Chain A
Amino acid sequence: MPAILVLDDSATMVMSLSRVLKNAGYEVETAGNGKEGMTKLAAGLKPSVILTDLNMPQMDGIAFIKEARKNASTRFTPIIVLTTESGGQKRDEARVAGASAWLTKPTEPNELLSTLKQLLPK
């Protein structure tokens, strides 16, 4: 069962994403910000895909993606950005940092699951 690491500072969003992903058969690990996410990766978590918000306290999504790309175990792990931010500049920043896909909230569960499926290692 593929594991997904979900990063979002909204507890309701984390719960909501977890439900959608678990109902679809994924294992879910969560973190409230980029720093917490990096701590989990450093502790040995090896997610198949990472799903991250952009605007988070302590370490935002862009900084997290940059750090994750420096980490040998997540250098090539697909990272999906799921955010309210829809500006082209942020999108470019995320792409340059190493994001694999971008979804703007509100998105539908099917769109999220379809994007995940496309990015999961075959």
Chain B
Amino acid sequence: MQFTSGSSENHVCAVLAAQVAELRDRIDGGAAVELLWRTSDVLSQLSGLVLELAKRCHDSDSGLNEQCKAAIAAEAEIRRSLDSLAFEQAQRNDFTCQTVDCVVTALERLAGGDGPAGNRLSLDDLAALYVSEEQRKVHDAATRRFEVVAASGPNSAESYSREGTGG
């Protein structure tokens, strides 16, 4: 796709920034994390009920009492795992949101820049937006690939472009 005017390119970047920002809000909403918390809370309530049942059948049914105790122990273990999973997921969401923020900021700069296309955001400007080592590693790997493509000439660049966008 080739843009015919700077203005059109600005608009495309602005729309993309809005699209990605919308995506960010959905990620930060953390529906999966909330489901894990709710599951953990419900398990905790059920565990309380089973404990009450165990107390009531303590003398009358020792077999059921033992099963209740085993269920409570298993529930505690599962709840710890769910909480741990939710904690890890929340952190991964946070990282994803920060990467999305970086893309939104970059697109907004490209959309709002007054200068000629190609001078609104340099690779160094982009790198300054990163907040994690993982982002920098991806950036370095990508720029290294550009260097290889550039060194191989325009035909290779075309071939790389098709490879990168295919599928």
Using CB atoms and an 8 Å cutoff, list the residues of chain A in contact with chain B: 8, 10-13, 15-17, 19-20, 23, 54-55, 83-87, 105-109
| B83, B91, B93, B95 pick with most chain A CB within 10 angstroms | B91
Q: Closest residue of chain B to A12, judged by CB?
A: B30
Interface SS of chain B: helix, strand, loop or mixed?
helix
Question: Could you tell me if B28 and A11 are in contact, using CB atoms closer than 8 angstroms?
Answer: yes
Question: Could you tell me if B95 and A109 are in contact, using CB atoms closer than 8 angstroms?
Answer: no
Using CB atoms and an 8 Å cutoff, list the residues of chain B in contact with chain A: 28-30, 33, 37, 83-84, 86-88, 90-95, 97-98, 131-134, 136
* Complex-state Cα separation, A11 to B29, whole angstroms: 8
* Complex-state Cα separation, A84 to B132, whole angstroms: 6
Question: Could you tell me if A12 and B132 are in contact, using CB atoms closer than 8 angstroms?
Answer: no
Q: Given A55-B98, A55-B131, do A13 and B91 touch, yes or no (CB 8 Å)?
A: yes
* Complex-state Cα separation, A10 to B95, whole angstroms: 10
Question: Could you tell me if A107 and B133 are in contact, using CB atoms closer than 8 angstroms?
Answer: no
Question: Could you tell me if B91 and A105 are in contact, using CB atoms closer than 8 angstroms?
Answer: yes
From residue A57, how far is it (CB to closest CB) to chain B in Å? 10
